[in-house]
Amino acid sequence: MNGGLLVAGTTSDAGKSVVTAGICRWLVRQGVKVAPFKAQNMSLNSFVTREGAEIGRAQAMQAQACRIEPTALMNPVLLKPGGEQSSQVVLLGKPVGEMSARGYHGGRQQRLLGTVLDCLTELRGQYDAVICEGAGSPAEINLRRTDIVNMGIARGARLPVLVVGDIDRGGVFASFFGTLALLSPEDQELVAGFLVNKFRGDVSLLEPGLDMLKGLTGRPAYGVLPFRHGLGIDEEDGLRVSLRGAVRESAVAPPRGADVLRVAVCAIPLMSNFTDVDALAAEPGVVVRFVDRPEELADADLVVVPGTRGTVRALRWLRERGLADALARRAAEHRPVLGVCGGFQILGEHIEDDVESRAGAVPGLGLLPVRVRFAREKTLTRPTGRALGEPVEGYEIHHGVAEVTGGEAFLDGCRVGQTWGTHWHGSLESDGFRRAFLREVAAAAGRRFVPAPDTSFAALREEQLDRLGDLIEQHADTDALWRLIESGAPQGLPFIPPGAPA
């Protein structure tokens, strides 16, 4: 078998990432050696592979669904937004510069098509099947000429295409039909059918519409996936996802102690790797919410200042919002504050940035004895160590180089009282360390909170991926899906006018 499939979507957030992960987990349980692939990803949530390459977190999670180690081949182009108009371009795991959206789509993107096709070819030589994820919609007609992630990669590699639509948003039939009808005849030849995502209710009521859609397009639905709470993998686009008022909390078990712990995460601009707090939310009795007002810190037992692609910009935002003063009061009162990566840099005394913001010398919040200088070369590592008497693993993604001048050592950073800072993302996924840290937080906050002794974050992730695999196995036409992956799009699929504009 040397199969492949491109999972496209009618919109951003239609469910491409989770469907790709679910298909990968279903295939690997059938004994298929499978890998994920996304030619170009725009995300502020990234991960470091063992060889020191930076890729999107969604592809790292999809690799876990395949039970393999992630590599740079699985996400050759990563765009990390630095604002509304520009992004850092990461090629084969390493940053190669900043570029405006106009400059990237004006020529650079198209020149990368050969690179991404080479990566896909290499993966297909190593695995029985490669399940590719598209981006946004394949019917973005303004960008089709330079597309390397949707129909561009499908045409280049002759991949069959499955279009996913989120029925929970409404208008899914129009979205399916319109997506297809805005593609050129050559692109339409590869679109094999549709997959309905997030359906609520009696599927028999949907079936007449699916039959009519097949009559209109000549293409079947490959399944109807029901809505399931709590399913998903790490979000991709930090600019697009609005976190205001979002709440993450564990529903797996009741609290072990008499109290819960409340965690407030500052929703700073260009927030990156906010998935760090997922491990906290997985703990029974820990409630995590994202906040943007100083009064929302008042009842928090722990405040987290997360990573950011714009440290100086986030620092300015905290000051403008009054959150900087609220953090300073917390530190003075010995109430727990944790800064991670960019958040760690913000808590320091001084920042020298001629790379990211080019703002030069900027005073930090002065809550930790740390001075930060931004280097042009990005640090991309997978460190291991010990903290609070427990083993810890993490990963680092940053331009800022921290000089720690005091305090108590904490991972590669420091702590002063109940103010903690580190560059290590993912450290809270280490179960023993997370429990020890939460015990410290609970003691400082005066809460009768007891961490569950048996919560395994890795096991919970595996369980989540298995649930995605179950969703595909139970609600998709897996026989038809198998034929599609193995043999490609059926011949003779009809053209649906008008097609792409000239």
Mark whether 425 is an active-site residue: yes
Residue 465 is encoded by which pair of tokens? 């991926």
**CA gap 45, 60 in Å, rounded:** 11
Please, which residues bridge with residue 476 across strands?
A: 223
Residue 388 is encoded by which pair of tokens? 């609070």
**CA gap 444, 462 in Å, rounded:** 33
Q: What's 107's DSSP letter?
A: I
Please, which residues bridge with residue 392 across strands?
A: 385
Alpha-carbon distances, residue 207 vs 52, 210, 328 (angstroms): 48, 5, 58
Residue 425 is encoded by which pair of tokens? 């993302």
Of these residues, 341, 398, 399, 414, which one is catalytic?
A: 341
**CA gap 333, 458 in Å, rounded:** 35
**CA gap 456, 299 in Å, rounded:** 28
Please, which residues bridge with residue 224 across strands?
A: 196
**CA gap 286, 280 in Å, rounded:** 7
Alpha-carbon distances, residue 139 vs 55, 109, 154, 179, 243 (angstroms): 25, 17, 13, 5, 27
In DSSP notation, 69-88 reads: ---GGG-SEEEEESSSSEEE
261 closest CA partner among 284, 292, 244:
284
Peptide bond into 498 cis (omega under 30): yes
**CA gap 466, 108 in Å, rounded:** 38
∠ Cα 395 86 115 (to 5°): 70
CB 238 within 8 A of CB 342: no
Of these residues, 398, 399, 425, 475, which one is catalytic?
A: 425
Task: Map residue 311 onto helix, strand or coil.
Answer: helix
Mark whether 229 is an active-site residue: no
CB atoms within 10 A of CB 359: 16
CB 456 within 8 A of CB 207: no
The owner of tokens 């000239």 is 502
Q: What's 253's DSSP letter?
A: S
**CA gap 46, 84 in Å, rounded:** 19
CB 197 within 8 A of CB 43: no
Residue 165 is encoded by which pair of tokens? 């639509």
CB 349 within 8 A of CB 364: yes
Active site residue ranges: 341, 425
